[in-house]
Amino acid sequence: MPLHPIQNITKHLLLLAALTGGAAGAIQEVLTAPEIAQANQDGSAMVTPSSAYLWGSYLLVSNSTGIKLAPNAPEVDGIAMGTPFERLRYEAYLSQYEGNPLDTARATAFARTLDHKLSFIVYTHSLKSVAEETEQWQQAYEKNPGARKSTRTASYLDVFKPATLTVNGRTLQASPQVDGPYQDQFNLANGDFDFRYLGVITYTFDLKSFPNARNVTLSFKDSAGRKYTQKIDLSQYH
């Protein structure tokens, strides 16, 4: 069975490439039938033996140097934006990759779950080794054994807090959705290697009250407290 593409985030980021085309004007908060068909077609077509999902202009920030960690590299490897069109396109890519392509009914049903939604996908890696994190969380658990409720492996991803999106002078808030942690081997600047956790944080905002939103500002902090602020002109995206 092929690996879910998100399970090899480092390789995935290495294969990010530019995407030509895409309508400018404003994002479509509610996809029409032709747009659903186009997103499904575009995502399915990306699945080839030599290609990964192509974020293109939806990739807002890229700090990734692959599996080689530069000194003082930030925790965030990349930030991508998911409009309804892009999210459906990605779902079509995954479904085709897994051998279960979306038909019109499934694509339409999925598209309806995306109405008015704007997501930001944050690719990250831990600044500490897996061993360091394990020891840190074990000590925390021993001090307060009833504090943790999640069955997910404890990691830096648990420290991420809600993000904000400023739209037309108003501030929206979204809680982090966590995918991970996974483990990968990274090469350090001194020639050694280290196993680190990595994972994806997704923030999703509801823009139903802002049908003509154009300029927005995303803001969040990583687990180490470093702040990220990204301004986006939505008129440049589909």
188: containing domain: 5-236
24 phi/psi in degrees, rounded to 5 = -100, 165
Which two three-digit tokens encode residue 233?
């002109």
Mean pLDDT by 10 residues, the chain (238 residues): 39 37 63 97 92 91 79 90 97 96 98 98 94 84 65 90 96 97 88 91 96 93 96 93
Q: Tell me the pairing of strands 170-174 and 163-167.
A: antiparallel
pLDDT of residue 18: 33
Write the DSSP string, the chain: -PPPGGGGHHHHHHT---------S---SS--HHHHHHHHHHHHHT-BTTB----GGGEEEE---TTBPPTT--SEEEEEEE-HHHHHHHHHHHHHHTT----HHHHHHHHHTTTTEEEEEEEEEEEEEHHHHHHHHHHHHHH-TTS----SPP-GGGG---EEEEETTEEEEEPPEEEEEEEEEEE-TTS-EEEEEEEEEEEEEE-TT-TT--EEEEEEE-TT--EEEEEEEGGG--
Q: What are phi and psi of 166, to 5 degrees?
A: -90, 125
* Number of domains, the chain: 1
pLDDT of residue 142: 67
58 class by beta-carbon count within 10 Å (0-12 exposed, 13-18 middle, 19+ buried): buried
pLDDT score for 22: 38
